[in-house]
Chains A and B, each alone.
Chain A
């Protein structure tokens, strides 16, 4: 564009005659102010800016920390049944998070060996793998021959380094059939094979059960435990009839799926010298035996 010269020259400042007190313009810094003052203002402003930045940073840090805390505090909620189930589906059973440190110890009695150990890997086949190691406690002088079958178990599983739970079985003089020590600091030992199975079931099973089935399930487990210490024929038969309740409709003792009830009952009956089984129970037992002892 062609530039035009200004018609009027405003070299000198326009001074308006006003009665008002003129204020310093705060928006344009260099109006009516000398150089030093400008620098001073800048320094102040910079400082303020810096401070603000710092504060913002700190607030952000606090926010992050709070977020972490929140995440950590809400973890127990993750362990609630619903989410646990979700975890199970992902095949990420982490026993270490459930208070188990490295391994659990199962003190087993030689007289009533926990046969369920033999079939543990069949209960939750695609969910969890168990690793066993075997020890004899010094309270025993030697190991009976019939327990050799247990030792083979570790030989088969020793290759799997992906096991989620290491079970250290110690043959020992135990006053009940077996005793599970998870962590001596956090909880008392769990007595009895049935409770050992319950412990695993609580950690692993994702099957939702309504209250009534749950009650029957637990009652049957209790019966399995009592059966072991029962020396009265009458009582024994009563227990049996309770156990086979519902067996006509279902293949297994608690529904159409193999559960710990079957395993617990099978283990107890295997240890018994004369189980005096009735027909339906013996059919189930043979069935169970065949299923559990067949190799994969």
Chain B
């Protein structure tokens, strides 16, 4: 073939005799290159069928378009979850679909770490009589985060592998197929994103910035901690539904597009609605109450809530999931307060059993167990104020608590009662919304309560005024235009049971239970004044 190439060269030379010498040389070079390439290709093509004993054991799947019919071998494959790879099934051959977490080629061997959700396992591929060099090379060239189908034999490891979640077993890879390829250049490495948050400077301590994480949320969500956080979040929502359904609550759905601001007018999003304007609901408050007036007695709702507050803090989002409930009671609003308190207790008790998820969060962010008392601690607002005064804080009897004061009170309560969850009862009337029922014994106070987790307010609720006349009077006292809330007041005209309720922010509850520092960590795709994507 070399001779052939030279002949071609010569022919060319003759043909292009009238072109300049420089160009001639260049052309010659190019031709030579092309020829060599050609030659190489031919050799490999020729060599493959003879040399690669592993052919058919590795490669890249075509785009899976569901083309396999029911009888095909591929559809009969049984896949094993990485978390099930344990000592008990050593020696068996398994199929695994997992991502390539890391890979490391070392001479004739290739070590890979495979990840499925938050579970990782080590795999080994070594050149042997069954495995060709080309297969090992293929494996070591797969880009990180690619999705793979792997057939392998489960075997015991000589030493415990501390870097993987499956520490006692590894996979001896027989087949390796690429299902979906990741771009070789990743905006962030899952390994970096899941590195524990520590203050130590020793060793490699690359961290991923919060904004980078949120910009590439898809990759960020693959970290074990995030897998755990969102599974817990789903669980909290499930527990909330379950606990309330067991007590005879029904779930309702309230409109999110409304004609008037439900609580005050400042922090509301305006959307264009055909020829006019409409607003996004700040809370399902009014509709919950109307459902009570409509004789549903106990209702709850889970849905998006919008707040147009331009505050870029660690605990504010412009859209979040609200868990709201409203309940009719017989004679005292403490019936409702205790119900809500018990719902929280049930959630906390169930959450502390989810050890594997809590462990994953602890690994990355550190987690201090959430402490609570059963029955929950309930203090009067005035007691809280006197505790703050004892600590040297200057607070008026009817002042609202500032955020630092709230946190200080949380610390004081924790020091004395050793609980992260408590209820503060009987808030001053002046700092609550107009529909809050005043206290019967002291006109300065009201039948309202807040609940706190780790010193931050998570729920604010009260007995609502169900008497239209008192409601009108209170609205006027607060300087609210009675005409605008006419439909609200009217809903109590035809008799309404006494009722109370409250609302929780799902993201905030999860954040505070886990002791995380930012609400964006518990919202999958957070919305804040500066972020609308992804």
Residues of A within 8 A of B (CB): 101-102, 105, 107, 134-139, 168, 170, 172, 181, 183-186
Contact = CB atoms under 8 A, between A and B. Distances in A.
Interface of B is mostly: mixed
Interface residues of B, number: 23
Contacts of B375: 134-135
A172 B352 CA distance: 16
Given A138-B348, A172-B418, A185 B390 contact: yes
A138 B372 contact: yes
Interface stretch (B80-88, B181-189, B409-417, B486-494): B409-417
Contacts of B485: none
A105 B416 contact: yes
A107 B372 CA distance: 13
Contact of B371 (A138, A168, A181, A183): A138
B365 interface: no
A98 to B, nearest CB: 13
A28 to B, nearest CB: 62
Interface of B: 348-349, 352, 369-375, 377, 379, 383, 386-387, 390-391, 412, 415-419
Contacts of B349: 138
A102 B383 contact: yes
B412 A184 contact: yes
Contacts of A101: 383, 386-387, 390
A137 B419 CA distance: 8
10 contacts: A102-B387, A135-B374, A135-B377, A136-B373, A137-B418, A138-B373, A172-B418, A184-B415, A184-B416, A185-B412
A245 B418 CA distance: 41
Given A137-B373, A184-B412, A185-B391, A168 B417 contact: yes
A139 B374 CA distance: 11
B15 to A, nearest CB: 90
A186 to B, nearest CB: 8
Contacts of B374: 135-138
B69 to A, nearest CB: 53
B411 to A, nearest CB: 9
Given A101-B387, A135-B377, A184-B412, A170 B417 contact: yes
Nearest to B411: A184
A172 B419 CA distance: 11
Contacts of B418: 105, 107, 137, 170, 172
A138 B375 CA distance: 10
B370 A138 contact: yes
Nearest to B374: A136
B369 to A, nearest CB: 7
B373 A170 contact: yes
A170 B386 CA distance: 22
Task: Output the residue of A102, A107, A134 with the most chain B CB within 10 A.
Answer: A102
Given A137-B373, A138-B371, 8 more contacts: A101-B387, A102-B387, A135-B374, A136-B374, A137-B419, A138-B369, A185-B391, A186-B390
Contacts of B379: 102
B352 A138 contact: yes
A19 to B, nearest CB: 78
A102 B391 contact: no
A168 B383 CA distance: 14
Nearest to A135: B373
B256 to A, nearest CB: 36
A158 B171 CA distance: 65
B354 to A, nearest CB: 14
B405 to A, nearest CB: 15
B386 A105 contact: no
Nearest to B416: A184
Contacts of A137: 371-374, 418-419
